[in-house]
Every structure is written in structure tokens, then in C-alpha cells.
Structure 1
């Protein structure tokens, strides 16, 4: 039976080739502030009735701010979470006798660092007054989130579930990038800014391979874990996904910033925030799970391990 994902030897060869091809850093020369930055379906307010009540200028700026916030979320996940997981895996006894997969992870770690630099560079080009002072304007981690992150990435019995989480979120990010590349016309706001499209093209070039590395790890770790540990990890994973996919502070911060640039919305600020908070889950993730041909590896392992069937409920 043919394996549904690439083996480690093939992935190492592809990773080494990509290292040579990715030598030139991403340096966006221009951002067109008259264009949207992301597809409207990836902005939270576009899934509420109040979005239609915004005028064109307000919707465009909301889209652009959401695009920058999305870049921050990519950076936060890759630099603050994925990189820590990779570092743990590189030193894990499971890979002690697997230098090929370990080398894949070492290259992946450097690529994730490069991705963070790309997203940061584009945000600086969009709002230099803010992003020359800070990397994270919309997304901030509280003490609880920082403590939870430390626990997840340092305690050994959590390693299986965090690798699952990395794969799921990387497949979701690939869906976003493919959507940006495949169609550059938004529903109502015109053509996407070329710098954002180029960013996602470069991002996908590596991430499509990264999820294959994740698959190799999950196949090995989930099989070895046994049903009891799988059930325990799946319960925690479900809780984490509920937290991650719930519209929270970053979405509210985007609205608050929008109001500072469009003070005519000040009287509706609370109404806008309330509309966002009524969304139970991140709508873009549900779209990804509903799209045929997307989230392939997540679907594959859900089918193999019934403990993880709950992931399909996020499609509704």
C-alpha cells in the first residue's frame, strides 16, 4: 500500500535543495495601501451581519489591519510554539537513531525562523511607525498563555499532542496560503496586494514540506502511544483547539485600532466587538475542513486513530 506522505529520505533531499533555493531574503519594496491584504473570508467581522454596514474605506482598512494581525499570528505560532516543539524533538530519544529525520527538523527550524523574519518585514512595510517599535501590536500573550505554552513544550507527556497541534495549524496555514495564490480577487475589495501574495507563495514553498515532516512524526508517535495515552492527549488537544479557534484578543485589538483611524465608528465600537465575540469559532478553519482536498494529513490520521475524530466537529 502506497504511503500517503513522503518518507524522511525524500524530505531531506527536498529540504537541502530548498536551502539552496531560499538563499535570497524576502524584502518587500512596496505595499499598496489601496488594496486588500487577505481574502475577506479570513477576517472575522466578514462573517457577521455588521460587516455589510461598514463603508468601503472602513472595510478595506479593517481587511488590511486583519492581514497584519494574521501575520503576527503566523509569527507567534511559528516562533513562539513550533520552534520550541522542534527543539524538543531534535533532542528527543525517539530520534537518537534517526539522523535523517532529525536533520529534516534542523532545516525546518531555520526555515521557521526565516518565515518569522518575512512576516515581520512585511508588517514593517505596512505600518513602519508601529512595527519598527514592536513585532506584536495586535497579539499579546498573557501570563496564563505563557505558562501554558511552557508546560506544553517542556513536559514530555504533552509532546504527542503538541505535534498534532503543529500539524493541524500548519495544514490550516497552507490552506490560507494556497487560497491567496490560487485566486487573488477578493469578494468585494478588489485584487490582493502583490507583496502579500508573494509572501504566502514563499511561505507555502516550505510549509507544504513541513506538514510532511509532521506526518512522519505523528505516524511514529501516535502508533507508539497506545489507546490510553492517545485518548488523554486527544482530550487536551480538544481543549486547546477550543481556545485557539475562539475569536479573542487579537480580533478585538484590530477593531479598537480601526476605530482610532476611523473615529466615526467610535459610537459603534462596542457593537462591533460584541458581533465578533458572538462567533464561536474561527470561521476560516471551518472552511478549510469543509474544502475537499484540504487538510489531507489531518483527515488521514483522524481516520486511522478514532480518538481524533472530534476534529471534524470544527467544520460546523
Structure 2
């Protein structure tokens, strides 16, 4: 996105989102990097500024080794293919002053830097779209994931700023334990041809916006419990014991199950002695012998059968 000129904006449209002090006059007509869309002010976005330093390199603008120039150089992170940060001369300092890379090899029109020293806020509807005439077919730019992490981490170290809870699209719900994730995407759209005549000194052609996005959560319906109709409460055990008749029926059924195999064996043995077909029915209810008597009878029958052989 592009921050319009001051004349195009309402009074006090731009304010500081973090820190104190007046809004600098030179921020207008610059690209902006959106780093947050807070849930408590969903119509606002927080952003850093993108600048081409009026066509100069960082070590040309702040070329001294004193503390003031070193401090000012620490405010900026270059965007590839901009030359590396002048203080990134070792492996350790390259981590402190990383060069930010765009995904898919995308590039800006001019060498540009992200100014991470200041965090501003504005109504998102007031930002303008931007087009790069040198890449008219490019519609979407984004930082690589590692560059995004480094940008936000460096901003936190320098300014102590952290994005809070983020505004989410309607119908989405975030888990309470899920951390906030801020990713970057640089959005570029086609504007009128008048922008082609802009010079690097105005910074108007190097317009980039980083869109803050939150990891999508499943719809709220996914958090609902199962249908309560599928659950049935088991009947409570009766307080009064069942009547005698019911108990006797249970005993008879148990006896019938126990006697069924023995019934078949007795029928076959009796048929062998009598030479006649076995009876078709045998009522186990007529047997009232205790279990020990049953085994005595069975042993006797088996002994007679063996003796007859």
C-alpha cells in the first residue's frame, strides 16, 4: 500500500501506534509495511515505512562511525536486491542486520529499506494501492517467511513493539492456546500511468505493504460437541428385587441351557439299548435332580454301556 500525501488525508489521520512524539512530515507519499491489524481497533492497521532514501545508499546517508550515525543505520533493514546493511560485515552482524528477501524472486523498482524505528497507525481505508510499471503483471508480493520473522524480531528489539491479538475474518475462531502468527505479504496493484513519471527521490514507486494475517482456525462449528440425541442415560437399577416368578423363569432358562448337551447324550445312549428312535422331546423342567445326582446317573449309564460291549 501507499500512504497518500498529507493533503489527501483527514487531519491527524496518521498517529503513532507505539512510542511518543509527533508524526514526522516526511512519511507521506511513501510505501508502508502493514505489520498488525489489532482486534480492538479492527478498522486500523499498524505499519512501518518503506523508503528509498532519496536514491542514496544507507552508508552514503550515514557514513560516519560515530554513535549517532551507527544508531541511525540500525533503524533500517534493506530489501533485496538492495546492498546489504553496511554494518553486516560478519556472520553475527548479518543476523542483527538482515537483508529482507521477497518470495518468488520479486523485486521493487528501486533499492529500498524498511524503517523499523517508527510504528504508525491509520484507518486501512485511507491507504492507496500501488503499481510498479516495471512489473505490470505482478499482482502479489510477499516476504519470505524467514525475512518476516527477522523483521518482526528486529522491530521488537529496537522499539519493544509487539503485535497483539489480531482481527480475524468473520466465522473463524482461534484456539485460546494458539499463538499469534504474523506473516508478510507485499501487495501490488495497477494504478494510473501518472505514477510512471515519479522519481526515486519521491519514494512513490517503491510502494510495498505487508499484510498481517492470522493462521486460520477451523469454523466455530468444529468446536461444537456431538449431538446430545446420540447419548442415552442407562436405566437405574431397580430399588425392589424382582418377584419370585421372574426369578424362577431365569433359573429354568439357565437349567435348560445347562441340560441341552446332556439331553442329547442321554437320548443316544437310551436309543442304543432300546433299539428304538429317541424321543423327540425332552422336557428339562421335569428334572429336579441336584447336580451331584446328575453325575451319578451319567456314570451309571456309561458303566452299563461299557459292560454291554
What TM-score does the superposition give when structure 2 sets the normalisation length?
0.24
Q: In proportion to residue count, which structure has more helix?
A: 1
Q: In proportion to residue count, which structure has more strand?
A: 2
Higher relative contact order (CA closer than 8 Å, sequence separation 6+)? 1
Larger Rg: 2
What TM-score does the superposition give when structure 1 sets the normalisation length?
0.24
